Structure 1
């Protein structure tokens, strides 16, 4: 399998953490793929007309995207461990995933806005991104008991990737200052072999 990949993408990292957790990482060939909102990648367009990473290309040429779909595909290959199958456990996991993944989406947009010259920034957008970030982290902090109390699944992976991305691109937010339970859990996540093998970086 071939994975369109970047060491800076939190969504790629989510896939790779899952692959390591499922012992499938050695079956994936990472292909460095540069994407930008203003410049679609022509090679990637052949596999994904949205020109977004991650995109997984199977040996028969079938392309699978986005990150959640890829993770569930890998989980199916491995017999199913990261996606609860039945009852409210599944919906809790998917909703928690959606919360953390949705904040990652906002952080990407927030970073793009912050990098504009000040005269081109939209203050209302900046305020909205900041508010949604504070509220999401507060919700995760308040509900953090599940992080330690439930089996490790796709939601745990996505929260861990989210916190790592905050460190990587938004260290000025000092998210640890107001979130001791998330901070403590993140230390255990960061120590997992899958997290150490996939640390997001420039390059």
Structure 2
């Protein structure tokens, strides 16, 4: 049996990155992927992770690693260096791309959360700020991809696919494809990859 458990929520783009990593690194025999509810006081996740967020990787000794990047660090440590997904300090552009995608993911999460509130509780200022941020970063990502970025199947690539997949299915308020043919082509081509196809988020 797998000695480690990776808790996820099907709609989380952060957890999707870790789920794809388990598949890409061929760790299914060592890491079981288990679903957990969020914002639920009875969630099976809470005894391990009081933060209540995913991904959360529970080690065989009970130590729980939370947040996407530390989880990827641990998963990477289980395979030989040549197969690892996180860029190292010798690849600053790849690290920059990964950080840029995660920054956009954070903003999209705030925007989406705001839209789920009753209309009278929403902050137009927050929505406008995050919408502007998303457009600005997406335009930069389009330029990066057009210049040859995201060619490697590394953490930045998987984070980008998870981000665009989240927008596609669960945040249609952001028309991310408009004026971004390179990102659109990258995302569409990615759907044939088994780790991507196996982790598509459900509709809202």
Q: TM-score, normalised by structure 2?
A: 0.89
Change (3 A) 1:178 1:64: same
Give the aligned partner of residue 3 of structure 1. Answer: 6
Give the aligned partner of residue 21 of structure 2. Answer: 18
Q: Is the 8 A contact 1:40 1:51 kept in 2?
A: no
Give the aligned partner of residue 93 of structure 1. Answer: 94
1:31 aligns with 2:34: yes
Greater percentage in helix: 1
SS of the aligned residue for 1:82 comes to coil
Matches within 5 A, 1:34-183: 34-36=37-39, 39-40=40-41, 43-80=44-81, 81-87=84-90, 89=91, 91-144=92-145, 145-147=147-149, 150-183=151-184
Give the aligned partner of residue 201 of structure 2. Answer: 200
Q: Give, in angstroms, the shift of residue 42 of structure 1.
A: 5.6
Q: Give, in angstroms, the shift of residue 92 of structure 1.
A: 2.0
Q: After superposition, give the CA deviation of every residue in 1:161-190 in whole Å (9 maximum; x if it has no partner).
A: 111011011224322121001011112222
| Aligned equivalents of 2:140, 2:42: Cα separation in 1 | 36
Instruction: Judge which range, 95-104 or 126-135, deviates more.
Output: 95-104
Q: After superposition, give the CA deviation of every residue in 1:86-120 in whole Å (9 maximum; x if it has no partner).
A: 52x1x222221111112111212111111222221
SS of the aligned residue for 1:168 comes to helix
Q: Structure 1 stretches of 5 or more lacking a match? A: none
Instruction: Judge which range, 44-53 or 5-14, deviates more.
Output: 44-53
Q: Give, in angstroms, the shift of residue 202 of structure 1.
A: 4.8
| Aligned equivalents of 2:41, 2:203: Cα separation in 1 | 20
Q: Give, in angstroms, the shift of residue 43 of structure 1.
A: 4.1
Q: Is the 8 A contact 2:88 2:95 kept in 1?
A: no
Higher RCO, 1 vs 2 (CA within 8 Å, ≥6 residues apart): 1
The count of aligned residue pairs is 198
**Structure 1 outlier segments of 4+, above 3 Å:** 39-43
Q: Structure 2 stretches of 5 or more lacking a match? A: none
Change (3 A) 1:28 1:175: same
